[in-house]
């Protein structure tokens, strides 16, 4: 029970959190929302109760006609000013502050998304929460501020209306009980249904969104046309739609019943009830005159609608508070490897890298890296080879601190990498991954990735990087050269590159970055043998004056490395130069010979 109460308090507190968050972004918008709420309720109560009472009182006391007209003119003037403020708000406040709030909130979410560790994006539950946090966050924040002030000033307005009713007939206040039950109790039940239905639909909605993306992305176009993948994707989509239908069915019956009872209590009993009661007082017991009847009915109607609106706001606050919980819990999540972690600023030059008995598992069970130990120093080219799943790419992720070891430690310049300022530490490395991604930006922006410097030096660096990666001629052939936008997603004249060309640009990015350590993880998997040979030659040449980690399953590419590490099941089983390992006749020599048979056309060598 205590936990349940704390949960409800947290949900209400989330709306206050939304007010605080929006206040920090735009004080003007919060003040504007509060002002609109005050003026809206004041206009409603004043015109439907107090102004009506004033006019009837003036008529009953036979006040001068001019006095009545003056009151009406003053009321009209006040309403005109309120209307002008509403128009000003809609035209000059809301559109601008909406954009500001959207910009700041998504910047906050993007910053957090960049700061959480890589493992979070591989956790389906966490990724679902991230999706929920991102879904309409600005709109939900603004709605929460609206309902927050709607509840506060709704209570004050309702109190004023109740007072007017009580002064006419103290029993008339009893009619407000039904909307309280209808909105507060049953409205809360409906909110749980809405929230449950939404959360249960998230997984299906993500699947449908995935299919929508795949269907229009050029990189999937060939597979869709040359295989039955379209049929499978369609089934994937249909299954998700069916899943959402099942979710709707799950909540439909209960929702219909509760909503019907809620409407009866909220509307039917209030308005029909007050009409019957007023008719009895006026026509049967004759204890109320027509003037009092008009005032009471207006006050009752106003009070009911204020109550309905107020409890709708309470219900909306409950519902929104549950959604805001995803936003708040995501923003307040404490990262295990925060990107903004402060610490020692590393030397710009890396002299040594050491793995000491490092073990690591992605799932907490089967180790991908097992008691891995090695030490490299100086400007050397270090190759890591082995079969798929041997742990080659994982050790790079550990070196970059995308993950932390479960056991052991990693030292760079004899200091545990956990002690370094993380962003400054990562600046020591330039990497080209086999699954590297390009953005829908210019070739230049994709290569330089925001690196700044003297214009001439930047252009020279860009040109050299493109040449070294073997794609300079291709880029020159494009209509706008290095300023050509990649992909056609936002530009009809954008360039669509092949897999090999994309990989060359990813390598060019590593060449362009000024870093002490270069890392190339299977950089030629999509290249033809000639392009692969030229790329390896340039990588080896470029790496002579820096420490380089080179990962490949093609052993012919590592013959010129200073040292080769052969991995198996996450451990180093052999190390040495290519010649030393071939002479040793172990696993490396066996693997090299097997691959050589596949590359050589000589019948005597072929299997």
User: Residue 220: which CATH number?
Assistant: 1.20.1560.10
Residues 386, 238, single domain; the answer is: no
Q: CB burial class (10 A; 0-12, 13-18, 19+) of residue 289? A: exposed
Mean pLDDT over 80-96 rounds to: 90
Query: Which pLDDT tens digit goes with each residue over 513-526?
Result: 888 999 988 877 66
CA separation for the pair 58, 70 (Å, rounded): 11
The backbone region for 389, taken as left when phi is positive above 0, alpha when psi lies in -120 to 50, beta otherwise, is left
How confident is the model over 170-211, as pLDDT tens digits?
776 666 666 666 666 676 677 778 777 877 887 788 788 888
> Can you give the pLDDT at residue 605?
37
DSSP-assigned letters across all residues of 541-584: HHTTTSEEEEE-S-GGGGTT-SEEEEEETTEEEEEE-HHHHHHH
Query: Does the reported pTM lie above 0.75?
Result: no
Question: 498 and 422 in one domain?
Answer: no
Is residue 307 domain-shared with residue 374, that is, in the same domain? Answer: no
pLDDT digits 0-9 by tens, 245-261: 888 888 888 888 877 77
Q: Which residue has the tokens 């000589």?
A: 602
For the sheet with 369-377, list strands across it. 369-377, 352-360, 407-412, 415-416
Report pLDDT for 3.
Answer: 46
Alpha carbon distance 346, 412 (integer Å): 9
pLDDT digits (tens, 9 = 90+) for 209-236: 888 777 766 667 666 766 677 788 888 7
How high does pLDDT run on average in the chain? 81
CATH classification at residue 494: 3.40.50.300
Range 408-423 average pLDDT = 94
The domain tally of the chain equals 3
Considering the domain boundaries, does residue 152 fall inside one?
yes
Asked if residue 266 and residue 137 are part of one domain, the reply reads yes
| Mean pLDDT calculated for residue range 411-440 | 90
Residue 404 has pLDDT above 80, yes or no: yes
Residue 73 belongs to domain spanning: 2-331
**326 & 465 share domain:** no
Q: Which of 322-331, 451-460, 507-516 has the lowest mean pLDDT?
A: 451-460
Give 425's pLDDT tier (boundaries 50, 70, 90): very high
pLDDT score at 607: 35
Residue 540 lies in a domain: no
Interval 1-26: pLDDT, tens: 444 445 567 777 888 899 999 999 99
- Rounded to whole angstroms, the Cα distance separating 443 from 460 reads 15
112 shares its domain with 259: yes
Same domain, 385 and 488: no
**Same-domain status, 306 and 352:** no
Confirm whether 538 is domain-assigned.
no
Residues 277 and 297 in one domain: yes
Q: Is the pLDDT of residue 433 over 60?
A: yes
Q: What is the pLDDT of residue 21?
A: 92
Question: Is the domain of 151 the same as that of 284?
Answer: yes
């Amino acid at each position: 029970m205590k936990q349940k109460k704390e949960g409800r308090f947290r949900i209400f507190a989330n709306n206050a959190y939304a007010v605080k968050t929006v206040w920090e972004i735009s004080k003007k918008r919060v003040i504007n929302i509060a002002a609109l709420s005050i003026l809206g309720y004041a206009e409603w109560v004043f015109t439907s109760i107090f102004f009506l009472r004033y006019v009837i009182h003036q008529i009953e006391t036979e006040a001068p006609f001019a006095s009545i007209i003056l009151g009406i003119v003053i009321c009209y003037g006040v309403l005109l000013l309120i209307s002008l403020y509403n128009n000003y708000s809609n035209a000059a406040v809301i559109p601008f502050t909406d954009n500001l709030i959207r910009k700041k909130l998504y910047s906050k979410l993007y910053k957090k998304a960049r700061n959480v560790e890589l493992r979070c994006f591989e956790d389906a539950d966490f990724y679902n929460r991230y999706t929920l946090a991102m879904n309409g966050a600005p709109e939900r924040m603004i709605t929460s501020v609206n309902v927050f002030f709607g509840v506060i000033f709704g209570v004050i307005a309702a109190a004023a209306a109740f007072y007017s009713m009580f002064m006419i007939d103290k029993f008339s206040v009893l009619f407000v009980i039904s909307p309280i039950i209808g909105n507060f109790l049953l409205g809360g039940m409906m909110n749980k249904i809405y929230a449950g239905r939404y959360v249960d639909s998230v997984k299906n909605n993500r699947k449908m969104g995935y299919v929508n993306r795949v269907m229009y992305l050029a990189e999937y176009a060939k597979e869709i046309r040359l295989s039955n993948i379209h049929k499978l994707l369609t089934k994937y989509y249909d299954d998700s739609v069916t899943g959402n239908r099942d979710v709707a069915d799950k909540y439909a019956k209960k929702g219909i019943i509760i909503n019907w009872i809620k409407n009866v209590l909220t509307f039917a009993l209030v308005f029909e009830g007050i009409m019957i009661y007023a008719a009895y007082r006026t026509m049967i017991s004759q204890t109320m005159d027509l003037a009092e009847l008009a005032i009471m009915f207006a006050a009752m109607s106003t009070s009911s609608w204020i109550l309905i609106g107020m409890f709708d706001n309470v219900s909306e606050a409950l519902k929104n508070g549950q959604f805001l919980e995803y936003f708040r819990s995501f923003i307040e999540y404490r990262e295990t490897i925060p990107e903004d972690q402060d610490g020692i600023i590393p030397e710009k030059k890396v002299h040594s890298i050491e793995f000491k008995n490092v073990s690591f598992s992605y799932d907490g069970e089967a180790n991908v890296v097992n008691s891995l130990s090695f030490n490299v120093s100086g400007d050397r080219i270090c190759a890591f080879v082995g079969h798929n799943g041997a742990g080659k790419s994982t050790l790079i992720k550990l070196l970059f601190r995308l993950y932390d070891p479960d056991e052991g430690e990693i030292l760079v310049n004899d200091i545990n990498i956990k002690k370094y300022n993380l962003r400054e530490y990562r600046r020591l490395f330039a990497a080209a991954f086999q699954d590297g991604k390009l953005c829908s930006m210019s070739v230049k922006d994709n290569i330089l990735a925001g690196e700044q410097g003297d214009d001439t030096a930047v252009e020279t660096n860009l040109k050299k990087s493109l040449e070294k990666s073997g794609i300079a001629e291709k880029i020159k052939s494009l209509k706008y050269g290095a300023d050509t936008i990649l992909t056609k997603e936002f530009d009809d004249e954008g360039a669509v590159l092949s897999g090999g060309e994309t990989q060359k640009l990813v390598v060019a990015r590593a060449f362009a970055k000024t870093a002490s350590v270069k890392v190339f993880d299977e950089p030629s998997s999509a290249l033809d043998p000639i392009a692969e040979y030229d790329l390896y030659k340039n990588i080896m040449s470029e790496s002579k004056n820096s420490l380089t980690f080179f990962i490949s399953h093609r052993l012919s590419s590592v013959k010129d490395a200073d040292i080769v590490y052969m991995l198996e099941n996450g451990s180093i089983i052999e190390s040495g130069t290519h010649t030393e390992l071939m002479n040793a006749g172990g696993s490396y020599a066996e693997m090299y010979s097997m691959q050589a048979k596949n590359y050589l056309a000589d019948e005597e060598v072929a299997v």
